[in-house]
Amino acid sequence: MIGAGHNGLTAAAYLAGSGLTTVILERREIVGGCCVTEEIAPGCRASTASYIASMLRPEVIRDLELASFGLRMVPCDPYLQVPFHDGQIIRWWADRERTAEEIKKYSQRDARTFLRVDDQLKRLARYLQPFFLEPPPQVGAPGIAGLFELLRVGKRFRRITADEIGQFVSFMTGSLGEFLDRNYESEQVKAMFLANNVYGKHGGPYQPGTSLGLLFHLLSGGEHELQGFNGHVIGGMGAISDALAGAAIKRGAELKTSASVAQIDVRNGWAQGVVLDDGTEIKARVVLSNADPKRTFLGLVDSNDLPQEFREKIRGIKMAGPCAKVNFVLGEEPQFRGTPPGTPPQQRSLYTLVRSLEFAERCYDIAKFGRIPEELWVDCVVASNVDETLAPRGKHIMTCFVQYVPYRLAEGTWDENRELLAERVVKKISEFAPNVPSAILARQVITPLDLERTYGLTEGNIFHGDLNLEQLFFMRPVSGWAQYRTPIDGLYLCGAGAHPGGGVTGAPGHNAAKQVLRDYRRRKKNHEGKR
């Protein structure tokens, strides 16, 4: 297993639990990839990259008994809240009736529409749910295999109506902005929906295909399999990876950190193992890569071992990650305007600073030409309000996800512009929480370039490739190779660059492991039949 990101650990746990001798090789000194908790100042820890658990698969949690390894998630309630410059805050509560009451402050009509649309979206999301834990359709499969694929997909939609088919097409091809403009009249309500969509994605909310996120975020997650689940992880996001590592080791996997893979050893079209940076050779009958597709096929595999057409497809995957992180240690809790006195700490933990669809579209337009927007979209999580273990008493941890910054700058380098980014994030936050600038004790800036250098994400893309329609389902990572296998026998892809994509779900790791086991048993059966 190349890489101990959460998907790699998930796959390793399933494979080791099935009796296969499994070795996990991790480049860094800690496990987790982007799903980590790291010290950013003495005694102060933060979820430095990924920061909220949403779609972590309930099946993975149960199968690998992650609770027994210390995993504990506290549901976010509200799921999110968006403050505005006039002091108002709109909140999306776990209880949809409560959310509808919240929306009534802005529009009676929108409150009714919210309940109707919520029913519609959840019904459509349930059609997609089964595809998360199985390979995508194998388009063009010949003969009996093709018929089987047709039946497998068809049975998932056997109860779908003609109207729902139309809705699916609309969501897959339409834009979030147009959907919201069509259904809602309040700009505050539109901002609430915007705050839960297009994260880590190229394109402003008016780009075709952005409405698909409305369905993705209503897939179930968490141990209780709740649609639209969002959760704070006690101990930070690294607690997920630590639990997965514990499950893998208990099932017999061997974990090696500070073991950077330099090359996948391929001979006569078969993966034979890997070679580490220090020259160590490790033999294996099967190699799984949790690295992104470009790093795997353009960096770890010799060009002569892959078809040129396949390499060109991989080279064409859209990456150029559009986001960054800034993590803070504060000497006092952020005081966001509009938060009522006496609000419980957990309800003071999430604030998304994005005021309108037009604002978000403008941010993207600026970033796509290589400039850092002067006014940024910032997602703030005051994690210490939920988890007191992250910092000593009197100190607070706030992690900030920044949406719409360029990987490639038009002028200068990210190392030269690191502090500029941090200053603009602080300026944005100060508009809503004026006490923050003077409360900063330490800060950590993670640019798109840092996501590449530190976390191994090609071009800083947190999803191992943009989540757009041409790079999803049977097109992920590329057409013809969407079922975790690769043109090299014995080499599999198990990270977010494979179906169903990014986010801390464990689904690609789960699915890849199941595919490896199916292939292994088939080969074993064929071998025994020839004896």
Q: For 8-20, how does the pLDDT look when each residue is reduced to its tens digit (9 = 90+)?
A: 999 999 999 999 9
pLDDT at 146: 63
Cα–Cα distance measured from residue 204 to residue 357, given in angstroms and rounded to the nearest whole number: 8
Retrieve residue 302's tokens: 């010799």
Cα–Cα distance measured from residue 118 to residue 120, given in angstroms and rounded to the nearest whole number: 5
Q: Within a 10 A sphere around the Cβ of 146, how many other Cβ atoms?
A: 14
Per DSSP, 206 falls in state: T
pLDDT at 530: 60
Retrieve residue 40's tokens: 């950013």
Region 118-139: what's the mean pLDDT? 83
Alpha-carbon torsion angle 326, 327, 331, 332, nearest 10: 80
pLDDT at 150: 65
Lowest mean pLDDT among 112-126, 392-406, 420-434: 112-126
Region 227-240: what's the mean pLDDT? 91
Which uninterrupted H or E stretch holds 23?
strand 23-25
pLDDT at 145: 65
Query: Which amino acid, residue 526?
Result: N
Strands 89-92 and 80-83: antiparallel
Strands 23-25 and 254-256: parallel
Cα–Cα distance measured from residue 495 to residue 8, given in angstroms and rounded to the nearest whole number: 7
Region 119-125: what's the mean pLDDT? 86
CB 35 within 8 A of CB 238: yes
DSSP string covering 222-288? TTTTEET--EEETT-THHHHHHHHHHHHHTT-EEESS--EEEEEEETTEEEEEEETTS-EEE-S-EE
Q: Which residues pair with 330 in a beta bridge?
A: 396, 440
pLDDT at 199: 79
Q: Is residue 361 scored above 90 in pLDDT?
A: yes
pLDDT at 220: 65
Q: Is residue 201 scored above 90 in pLDDT?
A: no
Lowest mean pLDDT among 33-42, 140-149, 476-485, 492-501: 140-149
Q: What is the pTM of this model?
A: 0.94
Q: Which residues pair with 377 in a beta bridge?
A: 403
Cα–Cα distance measured from residue 265 to residue 284, given in angstroms and rounded to the nearest whole number: 9
Cα–Cα distance measured from residue 48 to residue 35, given in angstroms and rounded to the nearest whole number: 8
DSSP string covering 29-48? SSSBTTS--EEEETTEEE--
Cα–Cα distance measured from residue 286 to residue 56, given in angstroms and rounded to the nearest whole number: 26
Region 257-278: what's the mean pLDDT? 97
End-to-end Cα spacing for the chain: 31
Class of domain 1-35+55-74+230-317+464-531: alpha beta
Report the percentage of the chain scoring pLDDT > 70. Answer: 95
What does the mean pLDDT of the chain come to?
A: 92
Region 391-403: what's the mean pLDDT? 97
Region 72-84: what's the mean pLDDT? 94
CB 401 within 8 A of CB 378: yes
Q: Kindly report the CA angle at 140 between 138 and 146, in degrees rounded to 5?
A: 70
Q: Is residue 437 scored above 90 in pLDDT?
A: yes
Q: Is residue 441 scored above 70 in pLDDT?
A: yes
pLDDT at 214: 81
pLDDT at 216: 75
pLDDT tens figures, 249-266 = 999 999 999 999 999 999
Q: 77: Cβ–Cβ under 8 A, 6 or more apart, which residues?
A: 93, 94, 346, 347
Q: Is residue 203 scored above 90 in pLDDT?
A: no
Q: Is residue 526 scored above 90 in pLDDT?
A: no
pLDDT at 147: 65
Measured CA to CA in angstroms, residue 405 lies from 177, 426, 453, 531 at distances of 20, 15, 17, 59
pLDDT tens figures, 453-483 = 999 999 999 999 998 888 888 899 999 999 9
How many alpha carbons fall within 13 Å on the CB side of residue 240?
36
pLDDT at 137: 76
Is the torsion defined by CA of 189, 181, 363, 460 positive or negative? positive
Q: Is residue 65 scored above 90 in pLDDT?
A: yes
Q: Is residue 149 scored above 80 in pLDDT?
A: no
pLDDT tens figures, 45-64 = 999 999 999 889 999 999 99
